[in-house]
Amino acid sequence: MVRREIVSLNAAVQERLNEIERLARLLGQGGETASKSDAQIAEEVEAKLAAQKRRHAMQLSLLHKIYAGQPNKAEAMGVAAADQLETVRNSDGFDAKWYLETYADVAATDMTPAEHYVSVGAFEGRDPGPDFDTLGYYAANPDVAEAGWPALLHYVLFGKAEGRAFT
């Protein structure tokens, strides 16, 4: 009888050992899954950080253009200031009333809303109206920011025909 009990207990112990081994394998697989998730999270964070760095570089480039007093790219390419203003004023993306309401400080300047947007506002990342995202256009088209074009002016003159994204 003792022998049967010993055999029975040995079998029970072996079952428990097998169960422990199976659970350990499951935990090991879960650990790998967690590692993959950690790697995916790290990859996403790195991508967001890289996008933020690109946006920051673009914003610095725009600020540099303001403080360096450089004429914008349109002027450098022979688009007269008056033509730039007319193009912006007549575009669907510009709303002078909205611009003044949104950026109250513009009223304190001696510039019209279109003048402000073309000469300063675009490079500060201000939107010309509710339907055009200046920083979004620059982010989608960093060459435009780097070249020093007012975003909406570039979009109207070239970007729309080129199929460029504006957000």
Domain count, the chain: 1
- Average pLDDT score, the chain: 80
pLDDT at residue 114 is higher than 90: yes
pLDDT at residue 77 is higher than 70: no
Question: Which residue range is the domain that position 85 belongs to?
Answer: 71-167
- Sorting pLDDT into bands at 50, 70 and 90, what band is 49? confident
pLDDT value, residue 76: 58
Q: What residues does 132 pair with on adjacent strands?
A: 129
In a domain, 2, yes or no: no
pLDDT at residue 2 is higher than 50: no
Residue among 103, 94, 104 at smallest CA distance from 130: 94
Pick the residue with more confidence: 125 or 20?
125
In a domain, 40, yes or no: no
- Sorting pLDDT into bands at 50, 70 and 90, what band is 3? low
Cβ-proximal residues to 120 (8 Å cutoff; 6+ apart), any chain: 66, 111
Q: What residues does 129 pair with on adjacent strands?
A: 132
In a domain, 39, yes or no: no
In a domain, 162, yes or no: yes
Q: What is the DSSP letter of 130?
A: T
Q: What residues does 142 pair with on adjacent strands?
A: none
pLDDT at residue 67 is higher than 90: no
For 17, the 3-state DSSP assignment is helix
In a domain, 121, yes or no: yes
Per-residue CA distances from 8 to 1, 2, 19, 136 (Å): 11, 10, 17, 73
- pTM to 2 decimal places: 0.60
- Sorting pLDDT into bands at 50, 70 and 90, what band is 33? low
In a domain, 53, yes or no: no
In a domain, 138, yes or no: yes
In a domain, 64, yes or no: no
Q: What is the DSSP letter of 76?
A: H
